[in-house]
C-alpha cells in the first residue's frame, strides 16, 4: 500500500528500521522529492569544464543532466531532455560543443540551455514565437561550487551551498584542496562510473560498516596473499583488497564521523 509521508516515522523504532525503507518504491519516490529534490547534490568538478563549450553529463536522482560552461564562463546545469518531444539531447558523457542539437527534430540549444534554433520554425503554431524564449532546456534551479566542486539544487529555496555543507564538510574539502601547492586540484584520468543495483542508502551504510570486511572479503584477502609482485611495489588495488583483512581491533579503532544534515 502507498506510504503517506506523515507516516514514515512509524516505520522506524529504536534499533530497528522497516525493510520498506530499502525496498518500497513509494518510499523511494518520497526520497526523490524530499531529499534528491531539495538537497545540494554533487555534480562534478570545475576542471572537467575548463573552457566555454566544455560539458559533461550526469544524473540528479532519476533525471539526466547536462553541466556546461557557457561563453561568459558561467556554469549551467539543465535537464538532458528536449523541450519539444522529450528526447535525450546529448548522449556523450563529456566533450566540447558549440551548441546541443536534439537528434529527433534538430532543435538546438545554446550552452546555457536557451533555445537557439528550430527547423521549419514557421510551421509551428502562431503562438510559437511568443513561447520560444521559454522553450529552452529546463534548468536546475541553483548551481554553485565550493573549492572547485560543483553542486546543483533543484529547489530555488533553502540554504545556500556553504550553509548546507556546514563548517565541518567545508573543512574536509579545504583539507583536501589545500594539500596542493597552489591550492587547486583537478580531475585527471577520466571518470569511472559504477551502477549499484540496490537502494542508495545500502551503499552508504555498507561503506561505513566496519565489521563486515574481514568476514565477507576473506576469500579476496586470501587470494591477495598469493600474488607475486616480482619485487615491485604492490598496486593500489592490491593494497585495497589486502586492507580488508585488518583485524577486528584495527577496524574498531577506525573512526566514522557523522555530521549535521546527514553528511558523513
Q: 144 falls in which pLDDT band (50, 70, 90)?
A: very high
Q: 256 falls in which pLDDT band (50, 70, 90)?
A: confident
pLDDT at 5 over 70: no
Please tell me the predicted confidence (pLDDT) of residue 4: 63
Asked whether residue 125 is domain-assigned, the answer is yes
- Full domain range(s) for residue 76: 41-177
Average pLDDT, the chain: 93
Asked whether residue 99 is domain-assigned, the answer is yes
Asked whether residue 188 is domain-assigned, the answer is no
Please tell me the predicted confidence (pLDDT) of residue 36: 95
Asked whether residue 186 is domain-assigned, the answer is no
- Section 221-234 average pLDDT: 86
Distance CA 177, CA 157 (A): 29
Q: In this structure, how many other beta carbons lie within 10 angstroms of the beta carbon of residue 63?
A: 16
Instruction: Please state which of the ranges 191-200, 201-210, 254-263 shows the lowest mean pLDDT.
Output: 254-263
- Section 181-205 average pLDDT: 89
Q: 258 falls in which pLDDT band (50, 70, 90)?
A: confident
Residues 65, 16 share a domain: no
Share of the chain above pLDDT 90, in %: 75
| Closest-CA residue to 66 (of 95, 39, 37, 86) | 95
How far is residue 235 CA from its own chain's centroid? 28
Residues 45, 26 share a domain: no
Distance CA 87, CA 57 (A): 15
Please tell me the predicted confidence (pLDDT) of residue 227: 87
**CATH, residue 108:** 2.102.10.10
- Section 3-27 average pLDDT: 87
Which residues, 6+ apart, have CB-to-CB distance to 66 below 8 Å?
Answer: 55, 56, 57, 77, 78, 79, 80, 89, 90, 100, 113, 137
For residue 23, count CB atoms less than 10 angstroms from its CB and return exposed for 0-12, middle for 13-18, buried for 19 or more: exposed
Instruction: Please state which of the ranges 45-54, 81-90, 193-202 shows the lowest mean pLDDT.
Output: 193-202
Distance CA 171, CA 68 (A): 27
pLDDT at 90 over 70: yes
Give the tens place of pLDDT for each residue, 169-188. Answer: 999 999 999 999 999 999 98
Distance CA 135, CA 85 (A): 11
Asked whether residue 199 is domain-assigned, the answer is no
Distance CA 19, CA 37 (A): 23
Is there a contact between 184 and 43 (Cβ–Cβ < 8 Å)? Answer: no
- Section 5-29 average pLDDT: 89
pLDDT at 34 over 60: yes
Q: 130 falls in which pLDDT band (50, 70, 90)?
A: confident
| Closest-CA residue to 160 (of 181, 143, 147, 174) | 143
Asked whether residue 232 is domain-assigned, the answer is yes
Say which residue the cell 584495527 belongs to.
250
Asked whether residue 203 is domain-assigned, the answer is no
Cell of 220: 579476496
pLDDT at 1 over 60: no
Is there a contact between 229 and 239 (Cβ–Cβ < 8 Å)? Answer: no
Phi and psi (nearest 5°) for 124? -85, 170
- Residue 131 CB-half CA count within 13 A: 10
Instruction: Please state which of the ranges 14-28, 84-98, 189-203 shows the lowest mean pLDDT.
Output: 189-203
The length of the chain in residues reads 264
Q: How many domains does the chain have?
A: 3
Asked whether residue 184 is domain-assigned, the answer is no
Amino acid at each position: 500500500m502507498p506510504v503517506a509521508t506523515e507516516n514514515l516515522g512509524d516505520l522506524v523504532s529504536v534499533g530497528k528500521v522497516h525493510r520498506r525503507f530499502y525496498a518500497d518504491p513509494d518510499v523511494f519516490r518520497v526520497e526523490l522529492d524530499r531529499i534528491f529534490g531539495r538537497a545540494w547534490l554533487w555534480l562534478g568538478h570545475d576542471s572537467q569544464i575548463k573552457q566555454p563549450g566544455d560539458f559533461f553529463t550526469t544524473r540528479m536522482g532519476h533525471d539526466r543532466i547536462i553541466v556546461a560552461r557557457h561563453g561568459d564562463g558561467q556554469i549551467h546545469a539543465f535537464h538532458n531532455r528536449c523541450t519539444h518531444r522529450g528526447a535525450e539531447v546529448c548522449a556523450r558523457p563529456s566533450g566540447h560543443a558549440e551548441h546541443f542539437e536534439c537528434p529527433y527534430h534538430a532543435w538546438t540549444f545554446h550552452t546555457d540551455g536557451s533555445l537557439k534554433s528550430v527547423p521549419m520554425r514557421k510551421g509551428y503554431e502562431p503562438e510559437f514565437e511568443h513561447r520560444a524564449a521559454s522553450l529552452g532546456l529546463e534548468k536546475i534551479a541553483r548551481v554553485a561550487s565550493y573549492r572547485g566542486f560543483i553542486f546543483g539544487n533543484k529547489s530555488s529555496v533553502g540554504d545556500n551551498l556553504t550553509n548546507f555543507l556546514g563548517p565541518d564538510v567545508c573543512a574536509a574539502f579545504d583539507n583536501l584542496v589545500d594539500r596542493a601547492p597552489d591550492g587547486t586540484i583537478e580531475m585527471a584520468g577520466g571518470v569511472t562510473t559504477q551502477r549499484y543495483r540496490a537502494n542508495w542508502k545500502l551503499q552508504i551504510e555498507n561503506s561505513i560498516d566496519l565489521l563486515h570486511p574481514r568476514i565477507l572479503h576473506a576469500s579476496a584477502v586470501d587470494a591477495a596473499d598469493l600474488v607475486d609482485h616480482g619485487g615491485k611495489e604492490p598496486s593500489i588495488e592490491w593494497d585495497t583488497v589486502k586492507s580488508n583483512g585488518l583485524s577486528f581491533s584495527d577496524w574498531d579503532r577506525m573512526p566514522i564521523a557523522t555530521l549535521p544534515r546527514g553528511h558523513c
